[in-house]
Amino acid sequence: MAPSKNILLLIADDLGREQMSCYGAEVDITPNLDRLAAAGTQFDYAFTSTASCSGSRTVVYTGTHTHENGNYGLCHGKNGFQTFSNVETAPLLFNNLGYKTGILGKIHVGPDSIYPWQVREESESRNVAAIADRAEAFFRSTKEEEKPFFLTVGFVDPHRQLQTRGGFGNVDGNYDPRLKDRIFSPEEINVPSFLSDIRQVRQEFAEYYRSIYRMDQGIGLILDALERENLADDTLVLFISDNGPPFLNSKTTLFEPGIRLPFLLRAPGTSTPGGRNPQLVSYIDILPTFLDWAGASDKPSDPPPAGAPKRLGRSVLPVLNCAAPAPGWDRVFGSHTFHEITNYWPTRFMRDRRYKYHRNVCWKLDFPFAMDLYASLSWEGMRNSGSAAADGGRPAMVGPRPLRNYICRPPEELFDLEADPLELDNLAGKEEHAGPLAEMRAALEAWQRQTGDLWLWRDGAPLMRYLSSNYAREGLRIPDRFDFDADRPATDAAPSVPLLG
């Protein structure tokens, strides 16, 4: 029998938590994920750092935010963002621990030298049965080699099928006889509250559900293979999604549907079956959790790579079975800068149990569209949902949000999630909420300093570069304001940023 303390990481692509039965979907769509949830712990407040595929995965694999690890956006083709060479990754660390490491399916991070999986079978196939076969072959090989394993399976589902409008791989994705197809009618769809209930949204969601149903079968086949190989009792299983649904108000945004995600963790001998966990956890906590499970210290290598970012996440195992909020697990942070390289819109967020704060760094830019979202039928329907001025000028809407408010956002946003879960009523600038705004702004900026975030700006200039130079000592003072004011460029009347010791 293979040694204990194996790890199986399952990553869906663009799956929202509301589209899973165990998280409240009205349609019975994810029976196998529901089975995993019933056998382990379901986290209700799990957050990725960024709602973009490559960036989110690097947060998982490195335990650092995108502005720390260099994957500011997507990594493929001419987008070209890559993880910095001095960042330690999960496959590197577990190779050093004597594990057999592997990844199947979607990878979407680079370069290969920084992610040295021993078994690397990249595939864009949606044949989840074939992927499960490869997973079982990997399980068998680790038993033969008598090594613990760390296997990642990256599903392509339920990502949109690129180069199609409204497609989710359903035409050619169900070609294995072991897979059942389920066709959903637009009428049975439960349209999420963040989207408009229009024909095009229902049409696309019907195809989206069909893709989710296929992916869920792949989960079941892999979990069954783990049982057949007598490895289930020795294997931590974590299921997550990289970001929320591929629709507006979700993917590429830091609104709740884009970053508050499914997180199902089964740790044999540790997790209480069917438990619900209320801690606010971040994807930077995943790598420390894996290392803790393996009995390894979550410290950089000795000596650490020069300039390597410090991992700030924590293992969730000590609070895995806490049914009530535990001290210190009450806030998360996030960092989004690019999706595609042409989708530049840097923003940072902080969330606690009640409030959410967004700092939109380049807020004067229009909020950009990922091309697959721009090409979607749902966006076409929403942008044409308004009426002409002659008809009363009803504005086009993106779900409950006026389209203008989606495209044009202010430098700061503060939302009371208890009263406003859809993040529609910006409280920044309202006197009665000045206290929470000041506290969260200060906490976010302290986190930006701690993580060396180059997008901590004052007067339109990068404050971190200023503080790490001799400029301040030689008399330069940066006005303490977010943006450069071309109409009032003088510095005399503006307070300046103090030099930190």
Give CA–CA dist 174/126, Å, rounded. 8
Helix then strand then coil, % of the chain, to nearest 5: 30, 15, 50
Question: Per the structure block, which two tokens stand in for 451?
Answer: 């993580």
Q: Which residue in this structure is represented by tokens 């409030």?
A: 355
Q: How far apart are CA 430 and CA 414, in angstroms?
A: 10
Q: Return the C-alpha torsion angle 342, 347, 353, 354, nearest 10.
A: -110
Contact 118, 92 (CB under 8 A): no
Gap between the Cα atoms of 298 and 290, Å rounded: 9
Q: Of 53, 75, 362, 408, which is the active-site residue?
A: 53
Distance of alpha carbon 41 from alpha carbon 44, whole angstroms: 10
| Half-sphere exposure at residue 15, Cβ-oriented, CA atoms within 13 angstroms | 31
> Does residue 53 carry a catalytic annotation?
yes
Cβ distance 280 to 47 under 8 Å? yes
> Which candidate, 94, 97, 86, 95, places its Cα nearest to that of 64?
86
CB atoms within 10 A of CB 440: 23
Q: Per-residue DSSP letters for 71-84?
A: --S--STTT-----
**Alpha-carbon gap, residue 153 to 382, rounded angstroms:** 35
Angstrom distance (rounded) from CA 337 to CA 52: 10
CB-CB contact of 68 with 451 (8 Å): yes
- Catalytic center residues: 53
